[in-house]
Structure 1
Amino acid sequence: MQNINDIVLCAAVISEGCSNVRTPRVSPDGKKIAFLRSKVGGPHAKCSQLCLLSWPSKQERIVVDVVEREKRIHDDHLFFGIYTFSGLPRRCWLKDSERLVISTVSHSDIVSCVIHTTDGTIVEMPHVGSHAVTDVFDDYLLVNFSTLAHPNQILLGCVPSKGQEDCIKMNQVTPTREIPNVSSLEYSVWEFVNDTPHPNPKYSDISISLLYYGPVSNTKGASKRPLICWPHGGPHSSSINSYSMAATFFVALGYSVVFVNYRGSIGFGQDGVDSLPGNCGLTDVDDVHKATLNCLKRFSEVLDESKVFLVGGSHGGFLVTHLAAQYPDFYKAVAARNAVTDISAMPAVSDIPDWSFVESGFTYEHDKIPDGATLSRMLEISPISRIDSIKAPILLLVGKNDARVPPSQSLYFHRLLLARGVETKLHLYDDCHPLRKVEVEADCLIHIALWLGKHWTEATE
């Protein structure tokens, strides 16, 4: 038997230029390699190109380019670009070796599209909620389907011939599951434009999308519900219309939840991503607060505007601590998971030091030491610079092994809150950034529920 140490790896560069290339996928006939490509530098999550390399000629071309704002595609649908954290599915090609299937974030949904690699035609497959392709074999698709109110199901479908892809019929593989006392509740998705001008007028008309989970009308005699505003992290990520165990938990406890895709979220064109770096702590905070007000107005007969709470993690934690400081009399209590509280302290300790520079509006150079002006700007846009304004009780949930947003961010913030007499509590877990160990996630949810419940009761008295 051959010794593995005797195997010689022969590798060669076959793609062009210097860029972020990932998830190469070979077509069934072995004559094409599809892959995603994006520019080096800037935000981690951005709009990607879908590229094709002919084999063995090594001729490379762009099939789907970066979309700056939106692109009109087959059947008059709008396409906002390719955004995916996991890249192309391991198997994404259809058996004709000319079409492939991708899933991408589109505003508040995950949509799946068939792409014709010959001419770049994009056909969005019909959907309600989010459809994420998990596997492709021959012309069969396995799709993970869910909405905020309906747990995940696996669907199976066969992609029709060219030009008929939008007629695909999906069949349930797994049964429909209902959550007692919750699945009957409605969810609502809508958008609005912030009337406060963006510092760069180019981005002022980018829409903000909201996903609301809870009753949309009140039954006779029912009390109004408290609202949890839950902005996502990233910041270049998104809240999507897919099942959330955590949101369902709080809705079952009597809250309504609103998720906000502020400007900077993915799925709104590359302009949406580019609108935030250099404006963190300003436009994102304002977008989330305006979205909360918009939600309260839309469901005024259901929601109690005197009982609004904040929950968020990572950059979402950055936002909720900022909101607590900028609107000290509006939000009644906060729960922050591994929150970014001081960007100026991050470059030396985070595993992604470039994040601090990019989101603060600077170009990252790996060999450059930040000067005083750079660090001053990072501090200025951080929640810690406004800590004297905070009144709302703050619960901090922290992973002691977090390399992304190290625990020092929350530990020091907690100490400063205590020194100012602000009610605060910190739980330290043997976990990392996502706090997703089963026992840790469960403990976090219970403590958030107890924290918010305590201050819900106090606001009622």
Structure 2
Amino acid sequence: MDPRQISDVYEEVSGLPAPVGAHVGEEQLAELRVLTVTAEWSQSVVTRASRLRYSQQWTLIPDSNNRRSLRTVLSPGPCLPVSGELVSGLSPVRGLRAVVRETGGRQLLEVWDLHGLRKCLDLTALDRHGRVHDDAQFGCLSWSECENKLLYVAEQSRKKTDSRDGDYARWKDRSVYCEDWGEALAQKSSPVMCVVNLQSGTVSVLQATPPDVSPGQALWAPGGQSVIFVGWYHEPFRLGLKFCSNRRSALFKLDLDGHCERLSGDDLSVSCPRLSPDGSTLLYLQGRVFGPHSQCLSLQQLDLRSGDTSPLLDVVDRPAAGEFAGVYEALPPCCWSADSQRVVFSSACRNQKDLFMVDRRSKKVTSLSHIHSEPPLPPPPPLHLYHRDHKREQEARSDSPEVYGSWKLLTVEKDLMVVCCSSPNTPPTLRVGFLPSAGERVTWRTLQPPVLTFDFHWSILDVTPSPEEDNSQYSGLDFGAVLVKPSHSLHEAKLPLVVFIHGGPHSQFAAEWNSFTAGLAKLGFAVLMVNYRGSTGFGQHSILSLIGHIGNQDVKDVQRAVLTALQSDTALDPSRLAVMGGSHGGFLSCHLVGQYPDFYRACAARNPVINAATLMGTSDIVDWRYTSVGLQYSYDQIPTAEALAAMLEKSPITHAAQIKAPVLLMLGARDRRVSPHQGLELYKALKSRASTVRLLWFPEDGHSLSKVDTQADCFLNTVLWLHQHL
């Protein structure tokens, strides 16, 4: 297989843009109501080894006789590059756009109106704080109601003094360790909330936050005299926050005069506060502390007038077939209906990602992903999609352009939903539709179909563990997988199968666009993406069932899924099987080639967990090292021989001597979650036995190996490895 061909395929599938945010504007022109949809897109460019961002705008004219139907969609405007923007926000009334931009080593706050740049402040020169936070964990940029103030979060300034004592103190403290919030949040330690007064051009740092919390996700409370924020407790020390919805945190309200009060309960995990349009209710997500690092969350509503909190949606332990499976993902920035009575969100649901609406009055949850009517214009290009008929358990072909495996809400404003839809053979597609009234259907319109679609087959497999593999504490659970394959074999009668395993373990492979999977399918491989028990989208019981059973239940689930796929699809070649995955997916990949040494012919693992006992002291989520093997965690935990033995027993390193399949390892030197020494430990164990092993080392990358050039390198080497050994 030609490396140039592989690189060209990856450049094609990874370079397709995806919408990452949207905003809806409204203007009344005489008797004509005009809506604008501005979408922000992200696009990977391998030749530049970077991701570009750009915006694009559409003009929509609703039907004058039916405000929930679109009469006309005008052609979109040109794509406009968004250069150096960290965070941005639109004011609610005048449509002013605030941007924090980084250029020439400085951070600038800009305010734009219809006539151009209205205000520009050099935040670096003002020296009131450190770098502005632009991550989803802490970052925000919120306008006050009067539109004269802006609220954002930045790193606390480490002030210098000019006195002789100050010089000595700086010299004495220059090597003192500063905790940060772990993987992907390095250099983020002590965030502070900052307020810009646009009239005076001054920046003030809000000082009265509790000393034991780090504030983030802040917004203005109604009236503009106080702010609401999430505070993550950082005492006695910080644990990793990325991908962890189990960190102790609370909602706080801070008055500008310095009074601070806690609004949510204690010993909980909260996130994503969202204020209703009428200013009466605050919505937020709530979960447990410790335990699974990702979990099914409840949706809470706080009445800001009475102070009462009540659940809008509870945790779903075990969803019935075809029913809502719970909330597992962050809420979009705007998720309320205009009348403040309905909430829209997207979430994992078994092997897919669906769009849901919940009515506050009835608490009824409705799926909006499957209430369709054909958009009149412009139709997307013909697609060849497949789905699973769960009742008949037979694959059913659908040529309808409305069959998508993933629906992700970007925003809902003016009751217009903007969503990103995709499938394993259909790259991200931008669609819009009005929130339905009772008994009505959603009429979806495609604003931007993908440039390309691909002639792949995809199907969803439902998998049931054998009786001996059932979990006695959580009996009767099933799981699933997504099978993607090329329509026609490139060379052989049967297809080699790559078993792709997600990390987490509490995450999901939705039936959505995945450039790695698409690239493999285009090069002639079938790909089975497995959602073993413990994956999100199957209820809290499924997540809890994996605790204490890693290295056993999840390994058997993947093997069961592979056997199910081979039995149901004769196009797959059982003699040419490979396994790959990252993090916990790498952990399972190495387990599988160790526990089933004659079954798989190749393995590719990214930053895998190899020895949980040696990992414990180096991971930013040490609590998960205990939880995963069924042990309780507390901050003052001291390792015991019994705990270390349990971790070692469940680790792939114990099966290293049985591994026969060639192993490709890809390691990020800056990985804070799974130390690269984990992969090195397996590398040395295999080298000592003269086993076939290759190691790729990425000195500037972390756990996700997310740099554009790193991903291209990993894809090329993985495909060459699979081609060589399959």
TM-score exceeds 0.5? yes
Q: Note the alpha carbon deviations across 1:264-300, whole angstroms, 9 max, x for none.
A: 1111111110110100000100010111111111111
Q: Distance in 2 between matches of 1:155 and 1:188?
A: 23
| Alignment check: 8 A CA contact 2:455 2:486 kept | no
Give the match for residue 355 of structure 2.
112
The match for 2:365 is: 122
Deviations 1:287-341 (A, max 9, x none): 10111111111111x1111100011100000000000000001100100000000
2: distance between equivalents of 1:8 and 1:439? 42
Identify the residue that residue 591 of structure 2 maps to in structure 1: 322
CA distance in 1, matches of 2:432, 2:708: 29
Report how far residue 359 of structure 1 moved.
Answer: 0.8
Is residue 384 of structure 1 aligned with residue 653 of structure 2?
A: yes
Cα distance in 1 for partners of 2:493, 2:664 equals: 26
Which of 416, 419, 432 does residue 685 from structure 2 map onto?
416
- State the partner residue of 2:222: none
Percent of paired sites with the same residue: 35
Any residues of structure 2 matched to 1:139-288 within 5 Å, and which? Answer: 139-164=415-440, 167-179=441-453, 183-198=454-469, 200-215=471-486, 222-288=492-558
Equivalents in 1 of 2:319, 2:488: separation in Å?
34
Q: Which of residues 74, 81, 88 in structure 1 aligns to 2:326?
A: 81
Match of 1:352 in 2: 621
Question: Structure 1 residue 3: deviation in Å?
Answer: 4.9
Which of 1 and 2 has higher RCO (CA within 8 Å, sep 6+)? 1
Change (3 A) 1:156 1:419: same
1:16, 1:60 within 8 Å by CA — same for their partners in 2? no
Displacement after TM superposition at 1:215 (Å) = 4.4
The letter of the residue matching 2:421 is: F
Question: Are 1:372 and 2:617 an aligned pair?
Answer: no
Do 2:495 and 2:526's aligned partners in 1 also have CA atoms closer than 8 Å? yes
Q: 2:345 aligns with which of 102, 107, 119?
A: 102
Q: CA offset at residue 402 of structure 1?
A: 0.4
Matched, 1:394 2:593: no
Q: Distance in 2 between matches of 1:453 and 1:71?
A: 42
Distance 2:621 2:285 in 1: 22
- Aligned length, in residue pairs: 443
Deviations 1:336-387 (A, max 9, x none): 0000001111221011111111111111111111200010010000000111
Higher-Rg member (1/2): 2
CA contact (8 A) 1:23 1:36 kept: yes
Could you tell me whether the CA contact under 8 Å between 1:332 and 1:393 is conserved in 2? yes
Say whether the 8 Å CA contact 2:498–2:579 is kept in structure 1: yes
Write 1 or 2 for the structure with the bigger share of helix.
1
Provide the rounded CA distance (Å) in 1 between the counterparts of 2:439 and 2:262. Answer: 36
Whole-angstrom CA distance in 2 between matches of 1:381 and 1:126: 40
Aligned to 2:695: 426
Q: Matched residue of 2:430: which SS? A: strand
Distance (Å, rounded) in 1 between the aligned partners of 2:467 and 2:711: 37
Q: Answer yes or no: is the 8 Å Cα contact 1:308–1:331 preserved in 2.
A: yes
- Distance apart, 1:202 and its partner CA: 3.9
Indicate the residue corresponding to 2:14 in structure 1: none
Q: Distance in 1 between matches of 2:204 and 2:430?
A: 43
Contact (CA 8 Å) 2:667, 2:695: kept in 1 or not? yes
In structure 1, C-alpha distance between the alignment counterparts of 2:206 and 2:316, rounded to whole Å: 43
> Which whole-Å CA distance do the structure 2 matches of 1:187 and 1:66 have between them?
30
Q: Determine the structure 1 residue equivalent to 2:125.
A: none
Task: Choose which of 203, 211, 218 in structure 2 pairs with 1:4.
Answer: 203
Amino acid in the other structure paired with 2:645: S
Letter in 2 for 1:208: F
Query: The residue matched to 2:333 in structure 1 has which SS?
Result: coil
Q: Where does 1:124-139 land on structure 2 (aligned, <5 Å)?
A: 124-127=367-370, 128=403, 129-139=405-415
CA contact (8 A) 2:356 2:369 kept: no
**Equivalent residue letter for 1:80:** A
* Deviation by residue 1:115-168 (Cα, 9 ceiling, x = unmatched): 11223111111343110101111200110100011111011111122443xx11
Contact 1:198 1:204 in 2 (8 A): no
Q: Deviations over 1:407-449 (max 9, x none)?
A: 0100111011100111001000020011110000000000001
| Mapped contact 2:455–2:487 kept (Cα < 8 A) | no
Alignment-mate amino acid for residue 460 of structure 2: V
How far residue 169 of structure 1 moved from its aligned partner, in angstroms, is 1.4
Inter-partner Cα distance in structure 1 for 2:560 and 2:595: 13
- The alpha carbon displacement at 1:70 in A equals 1.0
Relative to the length of structure 2, the TM-score reads 0.59
Q: SS state of the match for residue 214, structure 1?
A: strand
Q: Deviations over 1:14-35 (max 9, x none)?
A: 1233210110100000000011
Query: 1:341, 1:94 → 2: CA distance?
Result: 47
CA contact (8 A) 2:486 2:525 kept: no
Contact 2:598 2:660 in 1 (8 A): yes
Alignment partners' CA distance in 2, 1:227 and 1:6: 56
The one-letter code sitting in structure 2 at the alignment partner of 1:289 is Q
Query: Alpha carbon RMSD of aligned pairs, Å?
Result: 1.7
Letter in 2 for 1:66: V
Residue 300 of structure 2 aligns to a residue whose secondary structure is: strand
